[in-house]
Amino acid sequence: ETGVTQSPTHLIKTRGQQVTLRCSSQSGHNTVSWYQQALGQGPQFIFQYYREEENGRGNFPPRFSGLQFPNYSSELNVNALELDDSALYLCASSQGGGLEQFFGPGTRLTVL
């Protein structure tokens, strides 16, 4: 059984650019959630996907969007990057919306 994987590990972008982050869920999991974790803070819920549909969204602007694919892997897209978007982006998979989350190692995004 493979765990949650994320790519890339690190990414450096400049303000105004666009970025796509990828996540492969753990085998048997149909739900993927994305979180933004700033340094010294708790993870902030961005959104959740269940069976390819958005299943809940946090207080993030529309330039944060996502997709879930038939194999339950997922992408997080961020347009028009801002300096404050610099953070660790965590993906977590689960067998349902409110259940135990299995986190991936994260993607460290730096916006210059």
For binding to another protein (CB under 8 A), which residues are involved?
Answer: 31, 33, 35, 41-45, 47-48, 50, 55-59, 90, 92, 97-106
Closer to another protein by CB, 44 or 65: give it.
44
Which candidate, 87, 75, 83, 88, places its Cα nearest to that of 14? 83
**Least distance to another protein, CB of residue 59, Å:** 7
Euclidean distance between CA atoms 59 and 99, whole angstroms:
21
Q: Please state the closest distance from residue 22 (CB atom) to another protein, in A.
A: 16
Integer-rounded Cα Rg, in Å, for the chain is: 13
Give, for 105, the enclosing helix (H) or strand (E). none
Nearer to another protein, 33 or 111 (CB): 33
